[in-house]
Amino acid sequence: MTANTRDRILDALETLLLDKGMSQVTLENVAAAAGVSKGGLLYHFKSKDALLAGLVRRVAERATQQLDDARAKGISAAEWYLQTPNQDNTADAVELELYRSLLATMRTIDAHAGPELDDIQRALAELMATWSDGLDAEIDDPVRADVIRLVGDGVYLRALLGMPQIDPERYRRVIARLLEA
């Protein structure tokens, strides 16, 4: 029951972030949306920061699962990292919305810099490490791995900001060049 309640709380937080924005994320609102008492929420997450860090960690778990699924299909970590999110694909659109929520969470770090946010910062660092570890393990040249990481980050940032995608044929050539041994 504990894991189920924890997931319900994180689902409620995710929904609030996506539907209403960070301004509506309060412990009371998340607890109400999850159908638990505030005390029940605090049993699982000791603070709002711990709650937000929990969401970031869950996104990291999803990213790890996506990478594992891609590898099972013979897709390299670099190819997975360089994929262009497709807003017409429901799964990609949901992930983009969640990443937008993560951006909102990251903005809270800037707005309230202080030691109380260490847990969120740590969770974000773990998330970024999750996305990077596969590249570092797969690519012998650390500079090339960083270039792939930065290009992938840029592609996702463009998608998150709603900017037009790079010409698909040209981007395929970029990927091919980056994946050359």
Indicate if 83 and 152 belong to the same structural domain. Answer: yes
The Cβ of residue 167 has, within 10 Å, a number of other Cβ atoms equal to 10
What pLDDT was estimated at residue 156?
82
What pLDDT was estimated at residue 176?
93
Tens of pLDDT along the chain (181 residues) come to 455 999 999 999 988 887 887 888 899 999 999 999 999 999 999 998 899 889 888 887 887 788 888 889 999 989 988 887 766 666 666 667 666 666 666 666 655 555 555 787 888 888 788 778 888 989 999 999 999 999 988 888 888 777 888 888 999 999 999 998 6
The end-to-end CA distance of the chain, in Å, is: 49
At CA 129, angle to CA 177 and CA 168, rounded to 5? 30
Indicate if 7 and 94 belong to the same structural domain. Answer: no
What pLDDT was estimated at residue 127?
77
Residue 163, classed as helix, strand or coil, is coil
Query: How far, CA to CA in Å, does 130 sit from each of 73, 110, 133, 178?
Result: 19, 22, 6, 20
Residue 51 lies in a domain: no
What pLDDT was estimated at residue 63?
77
* Domain count within the chain: 2
Indicate if 38 and 63 belong to the same structural domain. Answer: no
Instruction: Please report, for the domain that includes residue 3, its CATH number.
Output: 1.10.10.60
Residue 40 lies in a domain: yes
Range of the domain at 28: 1-45
Indicate if 29 and 91 belong to the same structural domain. Answer: no
Residue 15 lies in a domain: yes
DSSP 17-81: HHHH-GGG--HHHHHHHHTS-HHHHHHH-SSHHHHHHHHHHHHHHHHHHHHHHHHHTT--HHHHH
What pLDDT was estimated at residue 105?
65
Indicate if 75 and 136 belong to the same structural domain. Answer: yes
Residue 160 lies in a domain: yes
Indicate if 120 and 140 belong to the same structural domain. Answer: yes
d(CA 156, CA 161) in angstroms, rounded, equals: 9
